[in-house]
Structure 1
Amino acid sequence: MQPLAVQEVIERAQECHVKFVRLQFTDIQGSFKNVAVTVEELESALHSKISLDSAVVEGKYGVLQRDVFLRPDPNTFQVFPWRPREGAVARLICDIIDADGKPYPGCVRSKLRDSLVWLRKNNFELTFGAEIEFFLFQTNQKGHPIPCTHDNAGLCDLTPVDLGENARRDMVLTLEEMGFQIVASHHESAPGQHEIVLREDEPLNMADKIATFKFVVRTIAQRHGLHASFMPKPLPDFNGSGMALSICLRQEGRNALYDAVAQYGLSTQGGSLIAGITNHASAITAVINPLVNSYKRLGYANLDRILKGWSEGNRNSMIRVPSQRGDDTRIVLRSSDATCNPYLALYLVMQAGSMGIEHRLPLPTSLDENTVDHRVPKNLGEAIEALERDAYIKGILGPVIFERYLDYKKQEWEDFHNHVHPWEIEKYLTNY
């Protein structure tokens, strides 16, 4: 696809009768945000004239904030299909820049895009796919979600058991209208749980798609009178929701993960990529599993995804290499969940893997052969400590993102411990 120019975006907006344009961006914690402008201000917006306070990006307010500016990416222009055709609403995804036009150090999208240089320099093409799970909950008369799932269906069930089929179909059709390629969709194993699979795309496009996916799914669910939640573990007695990331690597047109004569059929690059990720798995976990609730999902199901390593058959490993070889060889990171900041998640996985390739790290022993229990952190507190200790991850995040992310997560962990939970009341109130 040829890059769009500013004037082409303006012409498309006119052709589609757009009245409002949402300038969307992602903050350091991963929240999708926007500033809306009328179409009359679109040209000004496309020339990065729309400013905001850096606190909106960092999530930390104080006296030492500065003006930052939204720089829209013309290639992300989309008209929302669910809005009226007259007075339509469109969106542009933005980078955050300083007044001098340079990327703001807290811009997660710029961080991901700039990291692609090493791959391109070495003729590598890395792509990500995503298998995203979520729950559909019922809402009350005020439209607020209640902890009651939309159905009691199970894995791959059909209607009339699967009551979410119509909503899921509308989600897929809307996503396709917005340029997504959908591989598959189905009901998952838990009541009210669904999965939609996105076809592989280059890292920046995929991060944009994951951020957009969550926004679209929640919007379409609301139009069906439902609430879509990506909370990793909303139901105590059922599996939680994750976001498996499928990683493909090509070099000069061939699958660079595959080597027909090597052990396991994995190339040197494939083994090094896995080694790079597993070497920094504990710190990366603080980003790909960012919530207190994320760790209620990890380690409390039949398929734990908690072992810090890789395998073909051991479903407790955080990385799995499916049995297909040849051009279909791929690596799947199974422990992440969709509450993560997609830009930071893909950035860290890609950077750690690239570092492994650059330093030719050897492939670790498969967990099919070695079942030593080296697990990912058990809770957010352990993950935060691992993130603080990992000098490499700290260095590539940079001080602004690292410090703001860490401060926010430490506060979340402290708030969790200071809160009196219903379990404590049930357990202790009568007996003590």
Structure 2
Amino acid sequence: MQHQERVERAAQGTRHAERLAAADVVAVALTWVDNGGITRVKAVPTAALPRAAAWGVGATPLFDFFLPDDSITDGRWSAGPTGDLRLLPDLDRLVVLAAQPGWAWAPVDRWTQEGEPHPQCSRATAGRLAGRLAGMGITVRMAFEIEWVLAPAEGPGPGPGFVPAMSGPAYGMARLVERSDYAADLLRALAAQEVEVLQFHPEYAPGQLEVSVAPESPVAAADTAVLVRTTIRAVAQRHGLRVSFAPAVVAGEVGNGGHVHLSIHRAGRNLMSGGDGPCGLAKEGEGFTAGILDRLPALLAVAAPSVASYLRLVPSHWAGVYACWGPENREAAVRLVTGSVGEQAAAANVEVKCMDQSANPYLVVAGLLACGLAGIEQGARLRDPVYIDPARWSAGERSTRGVVRLPQRLEDAVAAFRRESVLAEAFGPELADTIAAVRDAEIARFAGVAPGDVVAASRWTH
């Protein structure tokens, strides 16, 4: 980073600090997400924002090796307690937090002390891959669905018990009525933070809700996922509630997903609709989708990265556990959302359903973009679409149709990740090796642990 850029960043920080001070904001939370999927934070007083904008805030590189339980593993690229990074806030995403009076928030990129992007910065990696697609004239639009469960704050702690904060039926109006004040405050807070909400509703599992937001550019979509989850948690605390985004909250029941919607565009045209390919996909839209579908086993190492993730990935639970695709098929790992007649050009997208929120959203974005980009470059083609729940077919029929079950254990996903050259190249040797090391440590942590105990140990971590 050159001197003039630091001067400009400091000036931008000064302008924002003055605006925040006028709004009675006293501090800014600067967040990044580690390889274990935990949002970590350093905060600065508002008056210190100009210097933080120019020079960053110090943080150890060892955060790359943190597990969700705050234990620290080792790896080829770990320097242990030595070294330092700089957290540089993206002030274009600076937001005053509506549910945390006196606070603002900004995501950070992580840089070395030499003024270069940190090779293991997942946000920078996602941005670099989005830039490669933009260089080809392709614009990507993405959004994360956020599912969570609510429980009383005074309820059971980390042990086996879970008591939902709502008793109404799944998708039922009764459930919404029970928590309508909370829901209204949440929607007000998101609107104040300029998050465009498309839908809000009770979901299937006990105490479960979901919010869907408008699509954005890839890095912005991951930023918004972090911001929305932070807001959900803050509003819940004000209502005497606690939140879990964990993939499995009660062993054997439906868990929280983190589905991702994607569409690609060229010259303003949505390549997920109006083409000559299967179900109206344009050639590049088909290649992008096939590139993702073909690499889903490896992608799960970043998109379903916890041992608990595989307790959610159960057939016939709308979790997308079979590597197939189909129009409006909620049991396919990749669902083509066609949109209604007359709106396909605007609404068509693909939804990747086998992902959850124990994942780092920036790694998810980077992985999806890398695989989709490879599919375009290689001219990948999709197999025939699937129109039913693949679990209804026999194993032999699924085999004949080329429909395979996605990994059922984190170990298998990590093995596929290690073999996948597209992800290795996209992430680079340092980040790819560290992701695998963190997953190995997560596997070792829960070796021989019963599913109910895995759930209890991870329920309130995410």
Q: Could you state the TM-score of these two structures normalised by the residue count of structure 1?
A: 0.90
Match of 1:195 in 2: 210
Given that 1:164 and 1:192 are in contact with CA atoms closer than 8 Å, whether structure 2 keeps it comes out as: no
Correspondent of 2:37 among 26, 30, 38: 30
- Which structure 2 residues correspond to residues 17-416 of structure 1 after superposition, within 5 A? 17-59=24-66, 60=72, 63=80, 65-84=82-101, 88-140=102-154, 147-159=162-174, 162-324=177-339, 325-368=344-387, 371-372=398-399, 373-416=403-446
Greater helix share, 1 or 2? Answer: 2
DSSP 3-state at the match of 1:335? coil
Q: 1:257 to 1:82 in 2, by over 3 A?
A: closer
Return the alpha-carbon distance in structure 2 between the equivalents of residues 228 and 43 of structure 1.
Answer: 34
Q: CA deviation at 1:290?
A: 1.1
- Which structure 2 residues correspond to residues 4-23 of structure 1 after superposition, within 5 A? 5-23=12-30
Return the alpha-carbon distance in structure 2 between the equivalents of residues 371 and 173 of structure 1.
Answer: 46
Given that 1:175 and 1:216 are in contact with CA atoms closer than 8 Å, whether structure 2 keeps it comes out as: yes
Q: 1:156 to 1:104 in 2, by over 3 A?
A: same
Task: Please identify, of 153-162 and 353-362, the stretch whose mean Cα deviation from structure 2 is larger.
Answer: 153-162
Return the alpha-carbon distance in structure 1 between the equivalents of residues 407 and 450 of structure 2.
Answer: 23
Task: Please identify, of 279-288 and 363-372, the stretch whose mean Cα deviation from structure 2 is larger.
Answer: 363-372
Structural RMSD (CA): 2.4
Given that 1:210 and 1:342 are in contact with CA atoms closer than 8 Å, whether structure 2 keeps it comes out as: yes
Return the alpha-carbon distance in structure 1 between the equivalents of residues 249 and 155 of structure 2.
Answer: 21
Task: Please identify, of 351-360 and 133-142, the stretch whose mean Cα deviation from structure 2 is larger.
Answer: 133-142
Q: 1:235 to 1:295 in 2, by over 3 A?
A: same
- 1:126-157 CA distance string (max 9 Å, x none): 11122211111123279879511112223331
Q: Which is bigger in relative contact order (C-alpha 8 A, separation at least 6)? A: 2
Return the alpha-carbon distance in structure 2 between the equivalents of residues 386 and 410 of structure 1.
Answer: 13
Give runs of ≥4 in structure 1 deviating > 4 Å.
Answer: 141-146, 420-424
DSSP 3-state at the match of 1:292? coil
| Amino acid corresponding to residue 17 of structure 1 in structure 2 | D
Q: CA deviation at 1:301?
A: 4.2
Q: CA deviation at 1:177?
A: 1.0
Return the alpha-carbon distance in structure 2 between the equivalents of residues 129 and 89 of structure 1.
Answer: 25
Given that 2:12 and 2:50 are in contact with CA atoms closer than 8 Å, whether structure 1 keeps it comes out as: no
Given that 2:143 and 2:216 are in contact with CA atoms closer than 8 Å, whether structure 1 keeps it comes out as: yes
| Amino acid corresponding to residue 76 of structure 1 in structure 2 | R
| Amino acid corresponding to residue 94 of structure 1 in structure 2 | V
Q: CA deviation at 1:215?
A: 1.6
Return the alpha-carbon distance in structure 2 between the equivalents of residues 376 and 337 of structure 1.
Answer: 14
Q: CA deviation at 1:409?
A: 1.1
Q: Could you state the TM-score of these two structures normalised by the residue count of structure 2?
A: 0.84
Given that 1:143 and 1:225 are in contact with CA atoms closer than 8 Å, whether structure 2 keeps it comes out as: no
Return the alpha-carbon distance in structure 2 between the equivalents of residues 54 and 397 of structure 1.
Answer: 17
| Amino acid corresponding to residue 59 of structure 2 in structure 1 | L
Q: 1:361 to 1:143 in 2, by over 3 A?
A: closer
Task: Please identify, of 270-279 and 292-301, the stretch whose mean Cα deviation from structure 2 is larger.
Answer: 292-301
Q: 1:361 to 1:222 in 2, by over 3 A?
A: same
Q: CA deviation at 1:191?
A: 1.5
Return the alpha-carbon distance in structure 1 between the equivalents of residues 14 and 183 of structure 2.
Answer: 36
Q: CA deviation at 1:418?
A: 4.2
| Amino acid corresponding to residue 177 of structure 1 in structure 2 | A
Task: Provide the aligned length of Structure 1 versus Structure 2.
Answer: 419
Q: CA deviation at 1:318?
A: 0.3
Return the alpha-carbon distance in structure 2 between the equivalents of residues 315 and 164 of structure 1.
Answer: 27
Match of 1:427 in 2: none
> Which consecutive unaligned segments of at least 5 residues does structure 1 have?
425-432
- 1:222-273 CA distance string (max 9 Å, x none): 2111111011121235322112211111111111222354432111111101
- 1:166-222 CA distance string (max 9 Å, x none): 222222221121120000101112220101011101101110011122222112112
DSSP 3-state at the match of 1:201? coil
Q: 1:242 to 1:9 in 2, by over 3 A?
A: same
How high is the sequence identity, in percent, across the aligned residues?
23
Task: Please identify, of 359-368 and 281-290, the stretch whose mean Cα deviation from structure 2 is larger.
Answer: 359-368
Given that 1:28 and 1:106 are in contact with CA atoms closer than 8 Å, whether structure 2 keeps it comes out as: no
Given that 2:166 and 2:175 are in contact with CA atoms closer than 8 Å, whether structure 1 keeps it comes out as: no
